[in-house]
């Protein structure tokens, strides 16, 4: 195996820390750049990395990136409420995108970057990468900005890039995301504390839940691929929130009685379902962990933290 040196922005966050652990396990050198909005150095304390506590557009100005072999750009505010609460998050995301694109333009290395399935809001599933999309909030606008500009940079400068549209990701190392963690994880935590989980609407809204190890696999396959462009990262299966709760009940052997409330959110996504054909064809990626198995895995992980 060829050893490489990668930058992972957001490498002390949920998805990024899982990626960092896997890259280091495989013998690669890793530089982590993270402002620690929803992450913690605790998540990577056991792996040897070079760490910079700052936003990526600030790191770009240091020039300490010129000997890298690839960029995983995951360090972006990752939930819609963050952008509604502060426009600074929008600026941070856009500035980071420009810095990332400039870096790969100057170095010629590949960028594999985080986008979101939320861009499909209002479109009928299954959601395909070639659908015509429109931003529905500040969060999706920031992701579409980067996707479109990556294509422009490719046309002008020949950059190598992939934008990975993440579906509903859950798994180990979400504990520092707190209320921004995935619903599977939040409801597991609530059930273990004997608390009543809150569900918007009637619980029949559906999500394509994808386990974080599969996401790491998709990211690494994209980095190794010669293909440019946008790819879904999902399972191709959707489960309702009620079905997911039923699996949690079975795993924990408890009776979970959720509180159903009127949905307070505008532009709420009712169904996410990834079309997986393109990622399977170009990247050889296919999710392996089903929801029941993933729930078992996170139960074991979070139980081990006590």
- pLDDT tens digit string along 158-210? 999 999 999 999 999 999 998 889 999 999 999 999 999 999 999 999 999 99
* pLDDT surpassing 80 at residue 82: no
**Cα(20)–Cα(12) distance, integer angstroms:** 8
Domain assignment present for residue 201? The answer is no
Question: Where residue 90 falls among pLDDT bands split at 50, 70, 90?
Answer: confident
Domain assignment present for residue 195? The answer is no
- CATH classification of the domain holding 20: 3.40.50.720
* pLDDT surpassing 80 at residue 139: yes
Paired tokens of 60: 């770009």
Domain assignment present for residue 260? The answer is no
Cis amide prior to 306 (ω within 30 degrees): no
Question: Where residue 130 falls among pLDDT bands split at 50, 70, 90?
Answer: very high
Domain assignment present for residue 143? The answer is yes
Q: How many domains does the chain contain in total? A: 1
Domain assignment present for residue 130? The answer is yes
**Mean pLDDT calculated for residue range 31-45:** 95
Tell me, what's the pLDDT at 180? 87
Domain assignment present for residue 205? The answer is no
For residues 259 and 305, the answer to whether their CB atoms sit within 8 Å is no
Its domain, for residue 75, covers 5-167+211-234+275-288
């Amino acid at each position: 195996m060829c050893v490489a040196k990668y930058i992972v922005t957001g490498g002390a966050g949920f998805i990024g820390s899982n990626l960092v652990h896997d890259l280091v396990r495989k013998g690669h050198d890793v530089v982590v750049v993270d402002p620690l909005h929803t992450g913690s150095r605790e998540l990577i304390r056991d792996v040897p990395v070079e760490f910079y506590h700052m936003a990526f557009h600030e790191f770009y100005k240091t020039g300490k990136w010129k000997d890298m072999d690839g960029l995983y750009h995951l360090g972006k505010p990752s939930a819609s409420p963050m952008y509604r609460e502060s426009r600074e998050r929008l600026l941070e995301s856009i500035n980071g995108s420009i810095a990332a694109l400039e870096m790969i333009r100057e170095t010629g290395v590949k960028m594999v970057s985080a986008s979101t399935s939320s861009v499909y809001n209002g479109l009928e599933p299954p959601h395909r990468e070639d659908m015509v999309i429109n931003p529905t909030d500040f969060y999706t606008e920031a992701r579409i900005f980067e996707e479109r500009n990556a294509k422009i940079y490719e046309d002008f400068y020949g950059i190598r890039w992939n934008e990975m549209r993440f579906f509903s990701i859950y798994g180990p190392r979400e504990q520092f995301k707190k209320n921004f963690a995935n619903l599977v994880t939040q409801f597991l935590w609530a059930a273990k504390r004997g608390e009543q989980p809150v569900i918007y609407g009637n619980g029949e809204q559906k999500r394509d839940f994808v386990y974080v190890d599969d996401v790491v696999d998709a990211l690494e396959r994209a980095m190794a691929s010669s293909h440019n462009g946008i790819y879904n990262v999902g399972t191709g299966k959707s489960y309702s929130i009620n079905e997911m709760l039923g699996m949690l009940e079975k795993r924990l052997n408890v009776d979970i009685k959720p509180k159903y409330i009127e949905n307070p959110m505008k532009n709420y996504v009712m169904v996410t379902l990834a079309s997986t054909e393109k990622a399977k064809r170009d990247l050889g990626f296919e999710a392996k962990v089903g929801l029941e198995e993933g729930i078992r895995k996170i139960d074991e992980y979070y139980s081990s933290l006590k």
